[in-house]
Structure 1
Amino acid sequence: MEVVQLPHTKGGIGETSYANNSLIQVKKSFIIGKSVRDEAILDLLSTSSIYKSLSIADLGCSSGPNTFIVVSDLMDTVHSKYSLLGHQTPEFLVYLNDLPRNDFNSVFTSLQGFHDSFKESIGDEFGQCFVFGVPGSFYGRLFPSNSLHFVHSSSSFTRK
């Protein structure tokens, strides 16, 4: 397998790191894509299936705590829908993808805060959430067939 050399962001948690300087860009792409994401996840949930577990991939995820802005919004939308239907929120399998040189350490350092804040806002109805790092370019294959329910990439949103 050929390894493609691609540019990457500045890792770490320092003053000049992407994790500490990307909130404006992350929030802008979040706002631009929210209605499309909501429509897509609600469309997925409109089937007659009640999922025991739901697999979500974020391709080209952010770094640090910004990573979880989109994921937590998707999980909140799923929780709200399941609550309306009178069902327990499913377990979440969250796959965070980025280039291998990007800083996954800052992502996983932020993980406990993500779990704590989501559990605080949802309460005991919150199902288990398992988070995985998937390094690699999303221009190649990253996942087995039929392993994901929902795939998100902020890089796919454009402004008209």
Structure 2
Amino acid sequence: MELIEVLRMKGGIGDTSYANNSLLQQKVISMTKPIREQAITDLYCSSLPKKICIADLGCSSGPNTLFVVSELINTVSTICKKLGHDQSPEFQVYLNDLPGNDFNTPFSAHCQDSIQI
């Protein structure tokens, strides 16, 4: 078996997919939320950037991919409101993982309840 096959998560949304078998990762994400919130608060308040770039290097193919990104954006939006800023900074999000990864799943799973235009 090639190394790429060992490291790659099972894409899609089936019973054996990473999207449906990443509860441990989700728990760790939840446990570390206060640390992320404090870090982004400190970063934003110390520099008041016009643009924030977020990189997820190893994002895989499950719902956790966009969950953390949306949390960070919501945290900045909340800070902006508290500071009385009219608008939030621009966000650029970079998702990176193995070349064979299924990048369609995070977007379709995250956007299934959204209005498609």
User: What TM-score range do you get, normalising by the shorter chain?
Assistant: 0.7 to 0.9
Q: 1:68 aligns with which of 66, 86, 90?
A: 66
Unaligned runs of 5+ in 2: none
Structure with greater helix percent:
2
CA displacement, residues 105-128 of structure 1 (integer Å, 9 cap, x when unaligned): 2123235348x49xxxxxxxxxxx
User: Quick check: 2:60–2:101 contact (8 Å CA) kept in 1?
Assistant: no
For the residues of structure 1 that align with 2:28 and 2:58, how far apart are their CA atoms? 12
Aligned length: 111
For the residues of structure 1 that align with 2:112 and 2:91, how far apart are their CA atoms? 16
Letter in 1 for 2:12: G
The structural deviation recorded for 1:55 is: 0.6
For the residues of structure 2 that align with 1:50 and 1:12, how far apart are their CA atoms? 38
User: Quick check: 1:26–1:62 contact (8 Å CA) kept in 2?
Assistant: no
CA displacement, residues 59-95 of structure 1 (integer Å, 9 cap, x when unaligned): 2114233311111111111111111111111121111
Could you tell me the TM-score, scaled by structure 1's length? 0.60
Aligned structure 1 segments of 4 or more residues deviating by more than 4 angstroms = none
**TM alignment of 1:33-112, pairs within 5 A:** 33-47=32-46, 49-87=47-85, 88-110=87-109, 112=111
For the residues of structure 2 that align with 1:70 and 1:77, how far apart are their CA atoms? 11
Q: Partner of 1:157 in structure 2?
A: none
1:31–1:85: structure 2 CA closer, same or farther, 3 Å change rule? same
Unaligned runs of 5+ in 1: 118-160
Letter in 2 for 1:73: E
For the residues of structure 2 that align with 1:27 and 1:106, how far apart are their CA atoms? 16
Same amino acid, percent of matched pairs: 52
Q: RMSD across aligned C-alpha pairs, in angstroms?
A: 2.3
1:51–1:81: structure 2 CA closer, same or farther, 3 Å change rule? same
For the residues of structure 2 that align with 1:28 and 1:62, how far apart are their CA atoms? 16
**TM alignment of 1:113-124, pairs within 5 A:** 113=112, 116=114
Q: Partner of 2:18 in structure 1?
A: 18
Letter in 2 for 1:27: Q
For the residues of structure 1 that align with 2:95 and 2:109, how far apart are their CA atoms? 13
